[in-house]
């Protein structure tokens, strides 16, 4: 029931995921912390980019990190070994059919996962099944509708919109961030709290223009090029212009770029 991963599984995508995680580390994960001794399930670990960060900064917490893709898990294993992160057990498995008994975990964590699922509510129900009463679930998601930039050209906007459309066609919802609050509450969580984490890039923040716009956002858009052209979302010339225009939004002195992530927590 998991939709195809819109960004694919290429080496360039793995590199992009690492750049993304590094750039967003402080913004998204300064408060990704659990009590020492906790057992935390991470659903959808992917190539381990986020896993290395949150496990690395919680050395007294044990993580079980699950993914459906064997190849991603192999990359995650290398990543964790290279970083000297030893408190993670990597495991292959499906989010909708977790290989654990009820209430097996103290806490649950998912990052950039629900947005790729055709049935995020079903995945949340299964994640909550294996969470003990009183434990917390934390979800971090983007919202592609939160994106705007300057200069904003029709071609840049068209290229960006390909991403939203491709993700929807594959069964995901890249606009999920704005509805994280009702999604978590409807799942049965109490004390749901969602905080937006806005990224703003301009000439005064060159490290964000580089790390976020040029190394995270643009490669992400470029990843759906073939899909978008094959389905005729736009023509190749508009695509090329759109990518060039997106580069301008991440380039000083004039470019600016905005995007928001949402981090939600709740108690079972």
Considering the complex, state which of residue 18 and residue 197 has its C-beta at the smaller distance from a copy of itself.
197
Give 152's strand partners.
none
* Distance in angstroms (rounded) separating the CA atoms of residues 144 and 175: 5
Question: Which residues 185-224 are close enough to bind a copy of itself by CB under 8 A?
Answer: 185, 192-196, 198, 200, 202-204
Instruction: Measure the N-to-C terminal CA separation of the chain; round to a whole number of Å.
Output: 24
Considering the complex, state which of residue 131 and residue 183 has its C-beta at the smaller distance from a copy of itself.
183
DSSP string, 15-37: HHHHHHHHHHHHHHHTT----TT
Question: Is 146 one of the binding residues for a copy of itself (CB under 8 A)?
Answer: yes
Q: Which of 45, 65, 72, 256 binds a copy of itself (CB under 8 A)?
A: 256
The footprint of a copy of itself on this chain (CB under 8 A) covers a number of residues equal to: 29
* Distance in angstroms (rounded) separating the CA atoms of residues 107 and 77: 22
* Distance in angstroms (rounded) separating the CA atoms of residues 47 and 117: 17
| Closest by Cα among 126, 113, 111 to 51 | 111
Considering the complex, state which of residue 136 and residue 146 has its C-beta at the smaller distance from a copy of itself.
146
Select from 1-9, 35-43, 98-106, 171-179 the region that touches a copy of itself (CB under 8 A).
Answer: 171-179
| Closest by Cα among 106, 108, 42, 116 to 80 | 42
Residue with tokens 């913004």: 27
Select from 4-12, 34-42, 45-53, 179-187 the region that touches a copy of itself (CB under 8 A).
Answer: 179-187
Considering the complex, state which of residue 90 and residue 199 has its C-beta at the smaller distance from a copy of itself.
199
Q: Which residues bind a copy of itself (CB under 8 A)?
A: 143, 145-146, 148-152, 175, 178-179, 181-182, 185, 192-196, 198, 200, 202-204, 253-254, 256, 258, 260
């Amino acid at each position: 029931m998991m939709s195809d991963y819109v960004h694919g599984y290429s080496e360039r995508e793995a590199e992009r995921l690492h750049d993304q995680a590094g750039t967003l580390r402080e913004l998204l994960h300064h408060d990704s912390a659990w009590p020492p001794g906790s057992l935390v399930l991470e659903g959808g670990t992917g190539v381990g980019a986020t896993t290395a960060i949150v496990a690395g900064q919680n050395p007294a917490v044990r993580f079980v990190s699950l993914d459906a893709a064997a190849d991603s898990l192999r990359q995650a294993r290398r990543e964790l070994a290279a970083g000297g992160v030893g408190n993670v057990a990597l495991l292959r498995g499906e989010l909708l059919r977790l290989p654990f008994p009820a209430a097996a975990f103290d806490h649950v964590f998912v990052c950039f996962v629900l947005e790729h699922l055709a049935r995020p509510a079903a995945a949340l129900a299964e994640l909550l099944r294996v969470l003990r009463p009183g434990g917390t679930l934390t979800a971090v998601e983007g919202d592609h509708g939160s994106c705007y930039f300057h200069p904003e050209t029709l071609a840049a906007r068209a290229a960006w919109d390909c991403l939203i459309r491709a993700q929807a066609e594959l069964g995901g919802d890249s606009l999920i961030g704005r509805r994280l609050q009702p999604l978590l509450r409807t799942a049965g969580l109490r004390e749901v709290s969602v905080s937006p984490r806005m990224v703003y890039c301009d000439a005064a923040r060159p490290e964000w223009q580089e790390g976020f716009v040029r190394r995270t956002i643009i490669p992400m858009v470029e990843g759906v090029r073939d899909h978008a052209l094959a389905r005729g979302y736009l023509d190749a010339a508009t695509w090329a212009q759109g990518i060039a225009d997106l580069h301008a939004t991440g380039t000083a002195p004039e470019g600016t770029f905005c995007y928001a992530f949402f981090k939600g927590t709740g108690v079972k």
